[in-house]
Amino acid sequence: VRILILAGSTEASALARHLDRLGGHDVTVSFAGRTRAPVPVPGTVRVGGFGGVDGLVDHLREQRVDALVDATHPFAARMPWNAQQAATAAAVPRLRLCRPPWAASAVHPWHDVPDLAGAAACIEELGAERVLLTTGRQALEPFARLDRVWFLVRAIEPPDPMPIADAAVLLARGPFVEAEERELMRAHQIDLLVAKNSGGDAAAAKLGAARALGIPVVMVSRPAQPSGPAAETVDDALEWIAQTECGQDSAG
């Protein structure tokens, strides 16, 4: 059974490892190629875009893919839509694997904003001066105009170019620990945390730390997702794959 996993999330790598342990699957894991040192995964690895919907349709047909699992990051804006359209055109079953978002804590100042520009506007409204920015190195431009704010930018790889003039960069990859997150916020006298609502455990520690220190959170909401079969956990994705295989066996 040939499975194409569109990667870019913790769940994508975890699914590839589970399928490898189960055996009986020919798994290809596809990366966009943004990260220079992606987490190693079993199976065949391919890197780089497909060339839009048409390119992905060609790939699905040429590689005779039986099932497509779109496990791109919750903030991947384009790929989930390409995957939906290409899977429909090539008549390949598709699942969107996307972990649930974090829920706002009732006792914590939490400001939902629709996008990065909204986050920048919210920083101004709140009058923050020292911001921990965890939205990723490719999401910095909207904050460049805030010249009265100092940013601590945390990212996996260095921003290049760095559009924000008054900022320090901290290179780090999760999972993070709450006590260390508290210490980081204290040490840098952070008065506001800006995050994307990625969900999951690996990056949740900063929310607990902010709550404990009474630091408000500006949370960027996720982009819209295409309709169709969806799973929130790797176990649910494995279940969908098993059912898809059964369906194909009985159809064949």
Ligand X SMILES: NC(=O)c1ccc[n+]([C@@H]2O[C@H](COP(=O)([O-])OP(=O)(O)OC[C@H]3O[C@@H](n4cnc5c(N)ncnc54)[C@H](OP(=O)(O)O)[C@@H]3O)[C@@H](O)[C@H]2O)c1
Q: Which residues bind ligand X (CB under 6 A)?
A: 6-9, 30-32, 34, 49-52, 55-56, 72-73, 75-79, 82, 136
Question: How many other CB atoms sit within 10 Å of the CB of residue 49?
Answer: 13
User: Residue 68: which H helix or E strand, with range?
Assistant: strand 67-70
- In angstroms, give the least distance from the CB of 4 to ligand X: 9
Task: Report which residue type is found at 3.
Answer: I
- In angstroms, give the least distance from the CB of 128 to ligand X: 22
- In angstroms, give the least distance from the CB of 16 to ligand X: 12
- Looking at the Cβ atoms of 133 and 150, the one nearer to ligand X is 133
- In angstroms, give the least distance from the CB of 191 to ligand X: 24
- In angstroms, give the least distance from the CB of 56 to ligand X: 6
The counts of H helices and E strands in the chain are 7, 12
- In angstroms, give the least distance from the CB of 80 to ligand X: 7
- Looking at the Cβ atoms of 78 and 186, the one nearer to ligand X is 78
- Looking at the Cβ atoms of 200 and 208, the one nearer to ligand X is 200
Instruction: Spell out the alpha helix ranges (H) of the chain.
Output: 10-22, 52-62, 79-90, 116-126, 178-187, 205-213, 234-251
C-beta nearest to ligand X: residue? 8
- Residue 152, sorted as left (phi over 0), alpha (psi -120 to 50) or beta, turns out to be beta
First-last CA distance in the chain: 13
- Looking at the Cβ atoms of 174 and 216, the one nearer to ligand X is 174
- In angstroms, give the least distance from the CB of 18 to ligand X: 18
Rounded to whole angstroms, the Cα distance separating 7 from 28 reads 10
Is the CB of residue 154 less than 8 Å from the CB of residue 214? no
Residue 169's φ and ψ, nearest 5 degrees, are: -110, 135
- Looking at the Cβ atoms of 37 and 251, the one nearer to ligand X is 37
- Looking at the Cβ atoms of 115 and 212, the one nearer to ligand X is 115
- Looking at the Cβ atoms of 6 and 113, the one nearer to ligand X is 6
Question: How many other CB atoms sit within 10 Å of the CB of residue 252?
Answer: 5
Tokens of 64: 């005779």
